[in-house]
Every structure is written in C-alpha cells, then in structure tokens.
Amino acid sequence: MRTPILAGNWKLNKTIAQSREFVASFTPLVQGASGVDIVLCPVFTALDATREAIGTAPIALGAQDMYWKDAGAYTGEVSAPLLQDAGASYVVLGHSERRGRFGVPEPDLEGQAGAVFGDSDQSVNKKLEAALAHGLTPIVCVGETLAERQNGHTDAVVENQTVMALNGIEANQISKLVFAYEPVWAIGTGETCEADEANRVCGVIRATIATGFGAEAGDAVRIQYGGSVKPENAAQLLSLPHIDGALVGGASLKADSFAAIVKAALA
C-alpha cells in the first residue's frame, strides 16, 4: 500500500513570520494524523524558520525548485545540499510555473499558470538525478496545457514528460520518487480536473513507469493530483486508486483548509 502524501506548495507567498504562524496553527489541527505524509513547501528564505517551527512534529519540509550543481558560479541558484542544510527532505521539480521559455509567458497559457522560468524536460531530468543523488525526494510535476488537452494530446504529453524526467534513472530508485499530475489549466484557476479523469491520467503515468521500469516500480511510485484541490473536492479525488495524494497550492495557504485536505486523505 502506498502512503498518501499531501504537500502544500506555498509558491511565492508567506514571510518568515507568516510561515511560523501557519505552522503554529496547523500543527495542532493535524496532531495524531498517522498513515499520511505531510510536506510544507515554503519559499527558500523561510525554509530554515519553518523547520524550526515544525520542531519534532511529523511534518516534512520541501523546497519548490533547485539547481543540479552542488556549488559554484551559479548566481541566484540553490542546490540540493543547501536545501538539506535548511532542513528540506523534498523538492518540487518541473512545476508548470517553472517550465517554458525563460521570461516569456507561453502564448497558449492565457489564464493558466504562467510558465516563464525556463525549465525543460532535460533540466528537470538533471535536477531529478541530483536530488536523488543527495537523498532528497523529488516531487516531479507533469501535465498538459488547455490547448494540448483540447487537441487530444494529454496522454502523449504526460507520457513524454514522465519518460524524459526519468532518463537514466534506475528502477530501484523509482520508489523514492513522487509524481504530481498537474493539468496546467487546473492550476490556480479554481477549475479542477474531473476526479475520474485525474485518476485516469495518474494511471497513464503509472503505466508509463511500469512499462519503463517494471510492474513493481509502477506499483510503488506515489502519484499526486494537483490543480485547485480544496477541502470540498479532496475526499473524492483521494479515494481513487491511482491518486496517492495532492499537491496543493492556494488551499494550502490557510491552516484550516490544508488540515481539512489532510483529514480527507485519512478518511
């Protein structure tokens, strides 16, 4: 059985003080929640303070991105060893807000999560290799844009992103990974993918992994759904067989709503 994993992706939100306040309100709400992994992903500058606020509570810390080199002349970047130094054990990779041409919003992304930070399938793969080499658990995001869905390319897009992300990875490393199916059109839009469709596409990701790395790897890998997950739709999404958790943006910013989503996973 796969342990459900609920990750709060705070994106570019919360000061150090606000991150601490969140943890102070959230921790009592999820006290005793066992059989579920909880991850908070604050901005880089709040990682250390959030770790301190979490203390010994069973809540893990994740970063929202990283570079694949450990150190050197890479102005503005942060590496796996530095994330670990700040207390992170997870790292989100290839989020749709980070994929795409650098500095240029993709033309077909009108009203959808902007992809402007230049991540490519190749850079996601390099980051994934580096994260695994350092013992960080990557949360690898894949998902189609609205135009790709409308043109019937959903399955091909997620299959391709999955295969490219895993280039050169060994089958015995797959169980250390988390995938997140994040249809780009459902992120931050209030629009959730139909639960059955989200489950189907998570199944496509699982089948792609099983084809490349064997049935055992396909069974072991945890796959989250992400895109406008909220307390009202979490229970239905999380009850489906291929959905092992959620990557939550907007609804993870408030302690009570993220706690309600965690509780939906326990039900």
Note the residues at the interface with ligand PGA (CB under 6 A). 9, 182, 187-188, 226-229, 247-251
Tokens (6 digits) for 71: 């150190």
Give the CA-trace dihedral at 253, 134, 131, 62, to 10 degrees.
0
The residue number with the shortest CB distance to ligand PGA is 249
* Residue 240 · residue 195 · CB < 8 Å: yes
Considering beta carbons, is residue 91 or 187 the nearer one to ligand PGA?
187
Residue type, 13: N
Q: How far is the CB of 182 from ligand PGA (least distance, A)?
A: 6
Q: How far is the CB of 64 from ligand PGA (least distance, A)?
A: 9
Q: How far is the CB of 226 from ligand PGA (least distance, A)?
A: 4
Considering beta carbons, is residue 181 or 213 the nearer one to ligand PGA?
181
3-state secondary structure of 178: strand
**What is the distance, to the nearest Å, from the Cα of residue 78 to the centroid of all Cα atoms in its chain?**
18
* Residue 39 · residue 6 · CB < 8 Å: yes
Query: What is the Rg, in whole angstroms, of the alpha carbon atoms belonging to the chain?
Result: 17
Considering beta carbons, is residue 94 or 218 the nearer one to ligand PGA?
94
The catalytic residues are 95, 182
How far apart are alpha carbons 264 and 231 in whole angstroms?
7
Residue type, 62: G
Q: How far is the CB of 48 from ligand PGA (least distance, A)?
A: 22
